[in-house]
Amino acid sequence: MEVVLIDAGGANIGSVRYAFERLGASARFSADPAVIAAADRVVLPGVGAAAAAMARLHELGLESCVRDLCQPLLGVCLGMQLLFDSSEEGDVDCLGLLPGRVRKLQGSPTLRVPHMGWNTLEPVLDDALLDGVSAGDSAYFVHGYAAPVTCDTLATSTHGETFAAVVRRGNRMGAQFHPERSATIGARILENFLKVPA
């Protein structure tokens, strides 16, 4: 099983790779469309801003490569947001693999944005990606923007408002939190992703 992590920049990419290697998968970075297209599994990690990340994918010639993938694809954190139609962050068009617009989380005097830290997951649909994940299990989030709850949402979380925490449409999947920093629950979701039929 070879996992290719799209190397479009981002501080978390190394820790995502190690998380897969701990599960026994071969994981490597690549920005080569041919290598990405030939992988068993593809991960789009991301930390930073949506506009800059989309500009980087465009610069590397990877937009159409990612859109055309047939094998299981997992977007992590910003990488999940990039799967949607667009984002308020930089008012940018994203990959358009999932319908919806990513919007800024609304803070308040008592509610910190960005949302940082552990928060509970609430599964809303049965799916193999969530095998072993129960209501109230926690994951580690770091984000200031969030995707809407749609028919593609498998689990939600709430920080002032409820947002999509895990999504899936066919072989296109995403986790708003950082599985590589989410202990047993994060490892379980990555393991489930490795088991998704190609």
Active site amino acids = 77, 178, 180
Please report, to the nearest 10 degrees, the dihedral formed by the alpha carbons of residues 28, 29, 32, 33 taken in order. Answer: 80
Report d(CA 137, CA 109) in Å as an integer. Answer: 27
Report the alpha-carbon distance of residue 61 to residue 55 in Å, rounded: 10
* Gap between the Cα atoms of 66 and 73, Å rounded: 9
DSSP element (H, E) containing 20? helix 13-22
SS3 188: helix
